[in-house]
Structure 1
């Protein structure tokens, strides 16, 4: 089959690789009909996530048709399913609490030591996201093996287009959980750092959860305009000082809740960010954490901090004093996707949630390397790239 593989920093290629096989009675094989490039995939593209190996198949946002099942899988051949990016067993202590991204059995035994060394305890497995998270082949491919298929995939009704439900795999539940972790109350003012896909879904979710005002912060005009469509007020941090603007917009109190949807590759010529960038260049640091620092400083006293953004390692210059003195609460973590999929699917089918507004480009799987470079280099116009295995690549169209 054809699949997108990682070969080093800024080097991804579509290669011919072996077809996946059933390895466990709970497995299923999915023929991928739609997959997407996630903002966190760019961390892999930039070589910032450890334990990647040449030839690893990327991709954790995908859906498709069931073509083969293990003896203990409840899925039926021919069913259309969306697959959560978190790989969870459904029966351990954490899965019993619906904390699927903390599953004890999602990682193969050979991979658990890596995560335990870095983070103290292993997390759930993730598709296409390094050997630290299981070394599982991802869904930017023609076919993919889905472990624990009796726990993860959700069956999609006939007649529903792929693009309406594809983002149930990751970014929609992630944005929703980000807003939920912010513990939004009616009348709240919520500030969201980052208007990428997760940030935009967090904006939409915050309004649906009762926020009175949502303030979206970014530097890309098109992304800010998308946030405005949901009613958000905006701050372009290249044109305004964020802290001062937020104080003015909130009467000097600060937002009730803040959401960091940026993560370890924060942009901007800020002193702390420049120092972080230097440290990452000379391997003295891993993350550029300007957005979470700024969010903590701006949040009102007694407020809530939600951090759906991906961070990979250790962060210095963290405003721990401000965090403690202001009495803030922080909630974070990889998304418990399985917990949210049924409710969000119903909201999509009812028309309550707009799930397709951020798609900017549709491409063949064969054009995936071009899609990665476009997304990496032009984050204003390129908001979301959806890949279609089996469709005709742009190069073939041009040749005609």
Structure 2
């Protein structure tokens, strides 16, 4: 089959690789009908996620048609259209039983590696390094889905691939980011990053009752898309974000702040951002937490900082004194997608939201490597790429 494979920093290729096979009685094989390039995939593209191997198949946003099922794959049958959560979860362990599917204790065969870095292991993920299981990803013609009796969700008749695809990751992630904020009537939510997850977080904040959303970015197309959803926008290349948010909230700060950027912010103003880049370039640091620092400072007393942007290692110079002295609450996670899927599927069916609004580019797998570069460099108005194998 054809698939997009990783060969090093800025080196994604469309190659022929072996077709996946059933390896367990709970597996299923799907023929991928739509997949997407996620902002998190750019961390792989830029070489900042450890333990990637040459020829690894990438991608964790995928859906398609079931073509083969193991005998214990639940009620799945050949021909079903399904969307596949990016988190691989057994459904039976301590965490899965409590709805914390992204903390699954069984699905990461590289558990010992993850424990060395993070103290414990999260769930395995599709196409996202051998630190998280080394599973082949979904930017391919076919995908093996472990624990298929727990993960894939059947797509209702009448719902298009483009409406359903983002249930795999960015819609649940953006919704979780807003859900973490415990939004109350009248609240102002500030969101850093107007990429795909940020766009979903903007709309989710309004769905959950926010009165005002302040969206922060510098890419014109992203800011325009945020405004089209009703957000007020700030351009970090032109505005002093802290001063503007404090002014807009009459000195109080935002009720909650969402970091939808993570470890690789665009070039930001401020000495701390410069120091971050120097440390990473000289191997004195692993992540660049400029956005997280700013979100902490911009959050009101006893507010919430919601973190859904990807960080990989150790963060430096976090203003924890500000957080503890002002009573901030931090909430963060890799998204337990399975916990959110039923209600979000219903929201799409009810017409509350059509997640396909975020798509700007549609292409074949063969065009994928070039679009990684386009997406990474914020060119051609690229916000979200969907590939049709």
Q: TM-score, normalised by structure 1?
A: 0.96
Q: Match for residue 322 of structure 1?
A: 322
Following superposition, the deviation at residue 379 of structure 1 comes to 5.4
Q: Match for residue 73 of structure 2?
A: 73
Contact 1:221–1:380 (8 Å) recurs in 2: no
Q: Match for residue 259 of structure 2?
A: 260
Once superposed, which parts of structure 1, at least 4 consecutive aligned residues long, lie more than 6 Å away?
none
Following superposition, the deviation at residue 158 of structure 1 comes to 2.0
Q: In structure 2, what is the Cα distance between the partners aligned to 1:354 and 1:25? A: 35
Q: In structure 1, what is the Cα distance between the partners aligned to 2:184 and 2:107? A: 34
Secondary structure at 2:305 match in 1 = strand
RMSD: 0.8
Q: Match for residue 97 of structure 1?
A: 98
Q: In structure 1, what is the Cα distance between the partners aligned to 2:376 and 2:85? A: 24
Secondary structure at 1:24 match in 2 = coil
Contact 1:193–1:216 (8 Å) recurs in 2: yes
Q: In structure 2, what is the Cα distance between the partners aligned to 1:351 and 1:26? A: 33
Following superposition, the deviation at residue 288 of structure 1 comes to 1.0
More off after superposition, 380-389 vs 53-62:
380-389
Relative to structure 1, the CA distance from residue 59 to residue 168 in structure 2 (aligned partners, 3 Å threshold; closer, same or farther) is same
Q: How many residues align?
A: 387
Deviation per residue, 1:76-102 (Å, 9 max, x gap): 100000000000000000001100000
More off after superposition, 201-210 vs 266-275:
266-275
Contact 1:81–1:156 (8 Å) recurs in 2: yes
Q: Match for residue 216 of structure 2?
A: 217
Deviation per residue, 1:347-399 (Å, 9 max, x gap): 1111101211110000001111011011011257100000010xxxxxxxxxx
Q: Match for residue 345 of structure 1?
A: 345
Q: In structure 2, what is the Cα distance between the partners aligned to 1:379 and 1:243? A: 28
Q: TM-score, normalised by structure 2?
A: 0.98
1:222-261 equivalence runs, <5 A: 222-261=221-260
Gaps of 5+ in 1: 390-400
Following superposition, the deviation at residue 159 of structure 1 comes to 2.6
Following superposition, the deviation at residue 213 of structure 1 comes to 0.6
Contact 2:374–2:380 (8 Å) recurs in 1: no
Q: In structure 1, what is the Cα distance between the partners aligned to 2:116 and 2:182? A: 32
Deviation per residue, 1:136-185 (Å, 9 max, x gap): 00000000100000000000122321001100000000000000111111
Gaps of 5+ in 2: none
Q: In structure 2, what is the Cα distance between the partners aligned to 1:282 and 1:380? A: 32
